[in-house]
Amino acid sequence: MRILFSSLQTHGHTYPLMPLAIAARALGNDVTFVTGEAFADALTAHGIEHVTGGFGMRDAFALAQEGMPVGRAQDVRPQVIPLVFGSVLPRRFAADLAPIVAERKPDLIVHELANPGAGLAAKVAGVPALCHSFGRMWQPDDVGANSQAHLAEVAADLGVSVPTDDLMVLGNPYVDICPSSVQDRAFLARSPERVELRPVSFAEPGDLPSWVVEHREPLVYLTLGTAFGDVGVLRTAIEGLAATGVRVLVAAGPTVEVGALGDVPDNVVVVPWVPQADLLPHVDLVVHHGGSGTTLGTFGVGAPQLVLPQGADQFSNAEMVVEAGLGDRLIGDDLTAEAIAAKARHLLADEAVRGAARAIADEVAAMPSPHDVARRLHEYA
């Protein structure tokens, strides 16, 4: 069977689809993945054909902001977000996928939730499609509603019909990597066909420091992800966590230079990047930005979380963690070194939180694996 996957050109939107794409290829399917050039090596290493398509996020926002360059993700003008996700990105992906679909003639297209342009290309070509989640379903706010209004215009321009009550999913069966116990209740009540898929962390190959595997004292992992890195927040978190006396491993990420963090205490190690999927099983607490990949990856290993949300869906993910008793959060002026130290000490010792974390890890383990779901993909073609 020929299957075409497509995601936005970011780690947080591409990596969640990788386990299913890899499993589909391992089962003998012909798999093509349309996304940014940065992911070519990771895909081809698993025998998946990579095709560059769509806009990068910086290019999309620069176009929406009439050529104004975009620096940090936090600096994006909020009023252009609906235009980017509802029009600029979908139009570009739909246009780029049209000739690819015509040439490769896939039997099935898998588009991630934030890339409805690929789903629209499937509808134009008459190809069945699945919508693949990247985390918990969000409830549209004003930004989301405006995005969907733009997307309805794109669909009309392409001459395709889409359901008005759930434009991003496009009425397709929904591959859901969010455990049911923490999924949005309203979404579960109205969702289309839902295909559960275990969230499996993906990371490109890399080596962990030997002391990570051998450590005996508690180990805390600190990251602000790949898009919302902030030197000030990282310095504050390092100061607070160092005061607890635990070992701390910090992944600075691509938006923060390691040197910008200055000298750090002896119990803190800062690196540019770690293979997060390999690291998570060894940690006792994850302090992070609330990105879906890190949040769900931490679910899978049963570790408590302290979430320091910076933007996008991170505030919703922080709320999910707190509501489920899986950890805590700090936002705005509450985010101080003293507060981080206090909450980290509490989370490392709180048996109720640790029990809840172990319970959701069991729930994740019981969800269908990528190979389980890949074996069923022919049912949707």
Domains with residue ranges and CATH for the chain = 2-197 (3.40.50.2000), 210-365 (3.40.50.2000)
Per residue in 274-304, pLDDT tens? 999 999 999 999 999 999 999 999 999 999 9
Average pLDDT over residues 66-76: 53
- 182-186, 236-240, 318-322: range with lowest mean pLDDT: 182-186
Distance of CA 166 to the CA centre of its chain: 20
- The rounded distance, in Å, linking the Cα atoms of 235 and 84 is 32
Residue 69 pLDDT greater than 70, yes or no? no
Per residue in 223-274, pLDDT tens? 988 766 688 889 999 999 999 999 999 998 777 788 878 889 999 999 989 9
In order of 105, 178, 180, 181, the CA distances from 367 in angstroms are: 31, 10, 10, 12
Residue 142 is predicted with a pLDDT of: 47
Pull the structure tokens for residue 330. Answer: 């700090």
Residue 72 pLDDT greater than 50, yes or no? no
Burial of 190 (0-12, 13-18, 19+ CB in 10 A): exposed
- How does 291-322 read in b/e, with b if 16+ C-beta sit within 10 Å? bbbbbbbbbbbbbbbbbbbbbbbbbbbbebbe
Q: Which residue is associated with the tokens 């000490």?
A: 345
The residues pairing with 287 across neighbouring beta strands, listed in sequence order, are 222, 306
Report the predicted TM-score, pTM, of the whole model to 2 decimal places.
0.92
Distance of CA 47 to the CA centre of its chain: 23
Q: Which residue is associated with the tokens 């994740």?
A: 364
Type of residue at 375:
R
